[in-house]
Structure 1
Amino acid sequence: MKELEIERIIVKFLNREANIQELNILDAYLRKEENIDTFNLFVKTEFISTSSMAEYDVDKAKETIRLKLKNKEQKRKFTVVYRYIAIAASIALIFGVTFFMMRDAKSELEITNEASIEIKAGSDKAILTLDNGNEVVLEKGKEYQEGKVMSDGKELIYVPGKNKGNSEQGLKYNYLTIPKGGQFFVQLSDSTKVWLNSESKLKYPVRFQKGKTRQVELVYGEAFFEVSPSIKNYGTKFSVLSKSQEISVLGTQFNLRTYKEDTEMATTLVEGKVRVQKGGNSKVLKPNQQSKTSSDTDKIDIEEVDASVEIAWVHGLFSFNEESLGEIMTVLSRWYDVSVFFKSEEKKKFLFSGKVERTKSIDNILKLIEETSTGQIEFEINDKIIIVK
C-alpha cells in the first residue's frame, strides 16, 4: 500500500471520518508488527498536537477499530461511521485530555458562534485575466473555451502548439488570480503544471517564444511547479520571477511561497535542481532544501526541510510542524476566507504540529486546537471573524 494512502486513512480515522472499508484497511495494517512503530510515529508527529503530546496507545486504537467494525456488522449501517466516539479514548491518550473520553458526539466541546453563517472550506475557483483586460470567472459548473485555452471549472489548460507570433511585440500575457478560499490548477502551453494556493496570482505568456527562456511570474501567493523539461522545449530554460528573486530551472518540482504580507520568500525543492538568484548572489538547491530570501537584502539562506510537509496543500492536507498558532491561523484564514483577531499576542506563540484534511470544516479544526491546548486556547466565531481568546 502506498504510504500516502495509509496516511490519509490514519488522518480520517483520528478525525472520526473513516468509512468501513477504510477501517478494514487500517485494521489489517495494524495487525503487522512492523507497522506499529510507523503508525505511532505518524500520529505523534503529524496529527494535530502540542509538543508535549504523550505516547499513543496503539492497542487501544486497534481495539477501537475492531469495535467499530463489529458494531458496523451488527447494525448494518455503512453511512454513519462515528455516532459515538469510542475513538475519543485513544485520542485522549495522545493529548492528555481526560475530559474528552468516551463522550457522545453531541456532547463535543462547542465553539461559540454568534452567527448562523456557515464557513465553508475552500474550493476550485479563480479569475482569468486575458491580454485585452477582460476577466473570466472560473469555478465549478462553468466551462470556458477560447481557441486552445479551455477550462472545466476545476483546471485551466493551454493546449500545446506553435506560437504564430514569436516576436517580442507578439508575446501576450494572461493572469490567473486565486481569491481567498480558492485554489486552482493550470497547465501552461509548454506542458508545465502549476498548482496555485489561496490568495495567489500568476502571470504567464499565452505562448512561450521558441528559443527563449520560458519565464513566468508569481506576483504573490504560493504555487507548486512541475516544470516541463528543457529537452521537450527546444532546450530552453524555465524561470520564475517573484518580487526581487529569480528561480532558474531545467526540469523539476518545487514550491514557491511569497505572500503579500510575507517578509521572506521560501523556495522548496522537491525534485531536480533549481538555482535561486537574488541580486548578485545565487545558490543551487538540492531536494529537501529550502531557500529563504527577503526584499531588503541579497542574502540567501538554505536549510534542510521535509519537502512533503511544504507541498501537503497540493495533496489536500494542512501540514504543520511545530508552527505557531499565529502562522496556523493565517493559513486557515486564506483557505476558509475568514478574518482572525487575537485578544492576546501571547496566544500567537503557542506551537502545534499536525496534519488534517483541507476538506474538514473549520469548526472541527478549531475544536482540535482547543482540545489539544488543554483549555489555554478558546475560539469565538462571529460572522466570518474568528476571535482567539
Structure 2
Amino acid sequence: MYKQIAAAASILLIMGLSLFKLKDTTVTTVVDNKNTIEVGSDRAILTLENGNQVALGQGKSYQTGNVRSNGEELVYNSQSGKVNTKEKLLFNYLTIPKGGQFFVQLSDGTEVWLNSDSKLKYPTKFIEGETREIELLYGEAYLKVSPSSEHNGAAFNVRTKAQEIGVLGTEFNIKAYTDDSQIETTLVEGKIVVETEGAKKVLSPNQQSRIGADLNLIEVVDVDASEAISWINGLFTFNEESLGEMMKVLSRWYDVEVVFESAEHQDFIFTGVLEKTKSFVDILELIAATSDGEIKFEIEGKTIFIK
C-alpha cells in the first residue's frame, strides 16, 4: 500500500458532496455501470543514470547499486548516499504515469510522495557539504526534507520550471501540473522560501504560495494545509471546487479523458471528501446524485462525456 503519513491538522471526512450552481444549467444523469475503469495504484518508471528504464509496481521487486524497491516504494541507501566534490553527480528520474503514485526516499533520507502524472529528477547521491537539489519537472509532490543539521548544514532546494524553493528541514506540498494555470506550494511544517526570477516570499505553516503567468508576482494565502495533502492519505478533498478542476484531479488518478460538451458545465461547484479507493463509476454516481439529476455522464471506453 502507498506509504501514508499523518496530517498536521485533522481532516474532516465528508461522506458525500454538496453542490452549488453558478449557472442555471439543466442536464440529466446517466452512468454506464458496465464500464470498468481501474483505480490508481503504486506504479512508476525509474530511469537510471545510463538511460535504462525499470517498471516499478506492486509485486515487482528491484535492486541495483544503492537503490532497492519492493514494488511500493523506492529507497536509496543512506549509508552510501554521499559523494565528495571530485565525483560527478549521477541523476535518476522517477516518472509517475496517470493512474499511478509512488514513494521515494532519497539518499539523504528526504522522503518524497509523488502523485499521478508527475516526474522527479534527483541525484543518486548528494555531494557532502553542498546544497542538495532536486527538480520537480511536472506534477505534484509532497516532501519531508531531511534537516540540514544532519548534513553539515547543507540546505535543500527544489526547482520547478517557474520557481525555486529553499528549505532547511520541513514538510510541504508542490502542485505544478502543466495544464494548471498556477503553481501552488503549501507549507505544512517549518519554513520555506519561494523564489522566482522577479519575486521572493517566505511561507509559514498553513500558508500557500500561488504563481501564475506573471513571475514577478507571488500571491500568499492562508489555507488548511491538511486539505492540500489529503491525497497522501488516500483522499480527494474538494473545497468549493469547480467541476472542471475536480475532473482534472479525477482524470489523473483514474487515467481517463474528460470531455465537456458545454463549457458552462465546468462551473458547477462542489465541496466534499472522497476516498481514492472508490471506483470511478461510484464517484460519478455520487456527483450525479448530489446534483439532483442535473449532471449527465456518458462513458465510452476511457473517455467521459459530460453533457
1:66 paired residue number:
none
Contact 1:202 1:219 in 2 (8 A): yes
TM-aligned CA deviation for residue 161 of structure 1: 2.3
Q: 1:213 to 1:135 in 2, by over 3 A?
A: same
Contact 1:121 1:359 in 2 (8 A): yes
Task: Give the one of 233, 240, 261 matched to 1:315.
Answer: 233
Q: How far apart, CA to CA, are the structure 2 residues paired with 1:282 and 1:259? A: 21
TM-score normalized with structure 1 length:
0.72
Contact 2:30 2:297 in 1 (8 A): no
Contact 2:162 2:196 in 1 (8 A): yes
- Percent identity, aligned pairs only? 54
Q: How far apart, CA to CA, are the structure 2 residues paired with 1:295 and 1:216? A: 23
2:94 paired residue number:
176
1:111 paired residue number:
31
Larger Rg: 1
Which consecutive aligned stretches of 4+ in structure 1 deviate over 6 angstroms post-superposition?
Answer: none
Q: 1:335 to 1:164 in 2, by over 3 A?
A: closer
1:235 paired residue number:
153
Residue correspondences, number? 293
1:353 paired residue number:
271
TM-aligned CA deviation for residue 279 of structure 1: 1.0
Q: How far apart, CA to CA, are the structure 1 residues paired with 2:126 and 2:16? A: 43
Task: Give the one of 338, 341, 354 matched to 2:259.
Answer: 341
Task: Give the one of 204, 223, 229 matched to 2:141.
Answer: 223
Q: Deviations over 1:284-318 (max 9, x none)?
A: 00111000112442211000111111000000000
- Amino acid in the other structure paired with 2:220: I
- Amino acid in the other structure paired with 1:373: S
Q: How far apart, CA to CA, are the structure 1 residues paired with 2:114 and 2:253? A: 12
Secondary structure in 1 matching 2:71: coil
Contact 1:338 1:386 in 2 (8 A): yes
TM-score normalized with structure 2 length:
0.91
Q: Deviations over 1:34-80 (max 9, x none)?
A: xxxxxxx864xx7411148xxxxxxxxxxxxxxxxxxxxxxxxxxxx
Q: How far apart, CA to CA, are the structure 1 residues paired with 2:304 and 2:237? A: 21
Pairing 1:151-300 to 2, within 5 Å after superposition: 151-162=69-80, 165-167=83-85, 170-300=88-218
1:28 paired residue number:
none
Q: Deviations over 1:223-273 (max 9, x none)?
A: 000001111111110110000200000111000000111231100001110
Question: Which of the pair has the greater relative contact order for Cα pairs under 8 Å at 6+ separation?
Answer: 2
Q: Which runs of 5+ in 1 are unaligned?
A: 9-40, 53-108
2:17 paired residue number:
48
Bigger strand fraction = 2
Secondary structure in 2 matching 1:330: helix
Bigger helix fraction = 1
Q: 1:373 to 1:163 in 2, by over 3 A?
A: closer
Pairing 1:118-129 to 2, within 5 Å after superposition: 118-129=36-47
Q: Deviations over 1:116-165 (max 9, x none)?
A: 55201100000000011000000111100012200000000001024574
- Amino acid in the other structure paired with 2:32: T
Answer yes or no: is 1:139 the counterpart of 2:57: yes
TM-aligned CA deviation for residue 344 of structure 1: 0.9
| Pairwise CA RMSD | 1.9
Secondary structure in 2 matching 1:346: helix
Q: Which runs of 5+ in 2 are unaligned?
A: 1-5, 22-28
Secondary structure in 2 matching 1:112: coil
Secondary structure in 1 matching 2:36: coil
